[in-house]
Structure 1
Amino acid sequence: MDTRRSFLYKGALALTSCGMSVKAPRELLAAQEASTPSICFGLLTDCHYAAKAHVGSRYYRESLNKIDDAVRQFNDSKADFAVELGDFIDAADDVDTELGWLRKANEHFAKFTGDRHYVLGNHCVATLSKKEFLNTSGAKKAYYSFDRGDIHFVILDACYRHDGVSYGRNNFDWTDANVPPHQIKWLQNDLKSTFLPVVVFVHQRLDGNGSYFVKNAMEVRSVLEDSGKVLAVFQGHSHKNSYKDIAKIHYCTLRAVVEESGIENSGHAIVSIFPDRSILVDGYRQQSDYDLKKTSR
């Protein structure tokens, strides 16, 4: 993958070929190894695909072309896997229509040649049940973890009401998002069970308070911080680029695919994690770039 870091390395080689002594060959080899990602993956969020007219800044039908645009980039970059961070589809008036929209959106996402992962968003289960979304998309579970490239990845499901009832069939207020006690316990045990650095994916935001944030975000963050293993959290939901460093954990919120007309107004990212645990978020279209240095705890 041709990242900014590999570009710098190539620049050093060019200087050497011009007769300028930059580094000894062994040092250059070490620099090359350090500039090669341990893992890279694609991210997109808030596609809200629906076969209906646009409302305000949300152009639902155009999300198919925007998904194709992201998938081409993921494939060209040889991403190890891709994650859709929630609200893959918008709400329909009935289950059959909603399932049709999900199948159509998934046909486009399935053009990605690697593994695909899905985070549940509130719109994913406005009309459908979680089981219907998971079975139709081919998603593994609502929340789970997996290892790739010496990194432990965690997918969380914050689509629960404050009383612990799971979202489904529009039985919720979208501002009432929570990670329930049983999932908190699972998360604690999962983080204890790995010796690897950790990256977390979630739809609703964990880095603050308000309508777009998980209501018990502070409790979730405490679990992440106590583990001493979490490098970063990637999230969506609020449709805007955002970055925060909280207790030396990177929180990156991605631009929504559905916003504004035209592919040029979409957003997606290729994320690379390097051996030194620094992270490069290479944003495309309206997605911001972030060069996230390793933090020490």
Structure 2
Amino acid sequence: MTRPRSRDLIQDWTPSRRRLLGLSALGAATVPFGIGAGPAGAVEPLRFGVIADCQYADVDTAGTRHYRESVHKLREAVAAFNDADLDFALHLGDFVDRFAESFADVVPTFEKLRMSKFHVLGNHDFQMPLGELLETLRMPAPYHHFRRNGWRFVVVDTNDISLYANPKGSEKYELARAMLDRLTAEGAVNAQTWNGAVGEEQLAWLRRVLDGARSRGERVVLNSHHPIYPKNVHNTWNDDELVDLVTSYDNVVAWFNGHNHHGNYGFAGGKHFVTFHGMVELDTNAYATVRVLEDRFEIDGYGREPDRIVPFGRPATELAATAG
């Protein structure tokens, strides 16, 4: 089938009145960048939820992956996000592990979120043709972007050039085969069949989006399934190219991703690269909420996901993981 192209989806949002949750003295003192005021003038920070690698399947546990338990972990995260009255929630790919029917067990739970919700495509999600997958996850396109409170959130498709997301013999499949062969010959650690790359058409689109955000004075968070930094076996195939691109924009703040279930963090070119822990791992949960303040993110981790203070332009401080 023909692979759908991305639409330049932009969703503008006017903040509704939300209850104030744990505002710091700094946040309460001023109206910071990325924060709106409610009808009575109260300061309301932008807050959103992040889940990575739910990776559900109705199969027995294998090694450290508790596939069947992910549906219960997802239910817990959804309840926590709803209680927190967040602005939106984001799943960073690999919503299921295998079988097209697996989506029927987790999509209804995710749809119970009482907020805007977004998916990023992961390698395990390709259990059906792309068009059906986008419809199942209610995604407008494999890559798109949306706005909240002066921030631009960009959904990047790192499966664009890959062996699993494109029909055999297609142009993108052959390009993926050639790219993987080259990386394998070079001994690259990320020369893995379950990784992919961002293609030239999407790269051109991404530059336009980042240029547009910069011209509007918007700060940017990019979101993908595969990491790009630091070097890791899980990284997208053209990770160096992507790092060079995002670090060349002064309005880019962070790149969020999943795929590496053990989590990771890097800081380069003044940008944060945060890999969130995979929900499917072990018998403990992993998800997070992110609060956007004038000069930092505050990541509140649940279960195996650590808390982080993420100051803009300086390395993050990781705190101990908590039970939430």
Give the TM bin, normalised by the shorter chain. Answer: 0.7 to 0.9
Q: Say which of 73, 85, 88 aligns to 2:80.
A: 73
For residues 3-18 of structure 1, the aligned pairs below 5 Å read 3=22, 6=23, 8-9=24-25
Give the aligned residue type for 1:122.
Answer: N
Q: Say which of 264, 285, 288 aligns to 1:242.
A: 264
Give the aligned partner of residue 51 of structure 1. Answer: 58
TM-score, structure 1 as length reference? 0.82
Gap change, CA 1:80 and 1:29, over 3 Å in 2: closer
State the alpha-carbon separation in 2 of the partners of residues 53 and 30 from structure 1: 48
Give the aligned residue type for 1:204.
Answer: H
Give the aligned residue type for 2:110.
Answer: F
State the alpha-carbon separation in 1 of the partners of residues 239 and 27 from structure 2: 43
The reply on whether 1:257 has 2:279 as its aligned counterpart is yes
Structure 2 segments unaligned to the other structure (5+ residues)? 1-19, 36-42, 177-191, 315-324
The reply on whether 1:183 has 2:193 as its aligned counterpart is no
The structure number with the bigger radius of gyration is: 1
Gap change, CA 1:286 and 1:176, over 3 Å in 2: closer
Gap change, CA 1:85 and 1:29, over 3 Å in 2: closer
TM-score, structure 2 as length reference? 0.75
Give the aligned partner of residue 29 of structure 2. Answer: 31
For residues 214-233 of structure 1, the aligned pairs below 5 Å read 214-233=236-255
State the alpha-carbon separation in 2 of the partners of residues 72 and 241 from structure 1: 23
Per-residue deviation, 1:82? 0.5
State the alpha-carbon separation in 2 of the partners of residues 197 and 176 from structure 1: 28
The reply on whether 1:197 has 2:219 as its aligned counterpart is yes
User: Is the 2:247–2:268 Cα contact (8 Å) retained in structure 1?
Assistant: no
User: Is the 2:123–2:194 Cα contact (8 Å) retained in structure 1?
Assistant: no
Structure 1 segments unaligned to the other structure (5+ residues)? 10-27, 93-97
State the alpha-carbon separation in 2 of the partners of residues 266 and 231 from structure 1: 27
Q: Which moved more, 1:171-180 or 1:246-255?
A: 171-180
Give the aligned partner of residue 16 of structure 2. Answer: none
State the alpha-carbon separation in 2 of the partners of residues 295 and 192 from structure 1: 20
Give the aligned partner of residue 109 of structure 2. Answer: 108
- SS, match of residue 247 in structure 2: helix
State the Cα RMSD in Å. 2.2
User: Is the 1:248–1:295 Cα contact (8 Å) retained in structure 2?
Assistant: yes
User: Is the 1:129–1:169 Cα contact (8 Å) retained in structure 2?
Assistant: no
Give the aligned partner of residue 62 of structure 1. Answer: 69
Per-residue deviation, 1:241? 2.5
User: Is the 1:175–1:211 Cα contact (8 Å) retained in structure 2?
Assistant: no
Q: Say which of 264, 269, 289 aligns to 2:307.
A: 289
Give the aligned residue type for 2:132.
Answer: E
Q: Say which of 266, 273, 276 aligns to 2:285.
A: 266
Give the aligned residue type for 1:245.
Answer: F
Give the aligned residue type for 1:74.
Answer: F
Gap change, CA 1:32 and 1:69, over 3 Å in 2: farther
State the alpha-carbon separation in 1 of the partners of residues 308 and 299 from structure 2: 5
Aligned length: 262
State the alpha-carbon separation in 2 of the partners of residues 71 and 112 from structure 1: 6
Higher helix share: 1
Q: 4+ residue stretches of structure 1 with deviation over 3 A? A: 32-38, 168-176
